Structures are given as C-alpha cells and as structure tokens.
Amino acid sequence: MNTKAPEKNFADIKDMTFERALKELEAIVGKLERGDVELEESISIYERGEALRDHCDRLLKAAEAKVEKLTLGADGAPTGTTPLDKDGNAPF
C-alpha cells in the first residue's frame, strides 16, 4: 500500500526559493497544528506541504553539492578547494 500523498500539479513550487518554500511550509504546519482547518482543506494543504518539503530537500541537496572547503597552506594562505563529503569533512 502506497502511503505517499497523490501527486498534484504544484508548478509554482518549482520556481520558489528555499526561503519562500520554507516559510510557506512553516505556515502550513502552523495551520495543521492549530487544528482549525476543515478536513478537506487539511488534506489539500498537507499535500502541498509534502511538495514544499520535497522541494526544500532537493534545494538543500543541490546546495550541499556545491559547498567546498577551502584548503590552506602552511602560511595560512588559501591554496585551493576540496569538495566536502556528506558529513561536512574534506576527504584526505
């Protein structure tokens, strides 16, 4: 049995910045936590929240892939960069 919400067309989400998507996701969580939303609207905003969460996750993973650690020489001057691994450490 598939427990994931059905895919809907949330085309506007794909163009959102991380900050905008996160802000909307936080607003949705707040509404759902208060419990003052009708059942049908709760389902609808929950599905949108899932799409926003997935979008934020993709943006974070893309940002992590771009992050690099500066390498310094003995004199403390930058000598280049090394990609970070998933734990934030430079491979040696």
Secondary structure (DSSP) of the chain: ---SPPP---GGGGG--HHHHHHHHHHHHHHHHHT-S-HHHHHHHHHHHHHHHHHHHHHHHHHHHH-EEEEE-TTS-EEEEEE--TTSPPP-
Query: What residue ranges do the domains of the chain occupy?
Result: 11-66
Instruction: Give the mean model confidence (pLDDT) for residues 41-63.
Output: 95
Q: What is the pLDDT of residues 4-15, one digit of tens each?
A: 444 577 899 999
- Is the pLDDT confidence value at 85 over 70? no
Instruction: Give the mean model confidence (pLDDT) for residues 29-35.
Output: 95
Instruction: Give the mean model confidence (pLDDT) for residues 56-83.
Output: 78
Residue 89: pLDDT band (50, 70, 90) is: low
Query: pTM (2 decimals)?
Result: 0.66
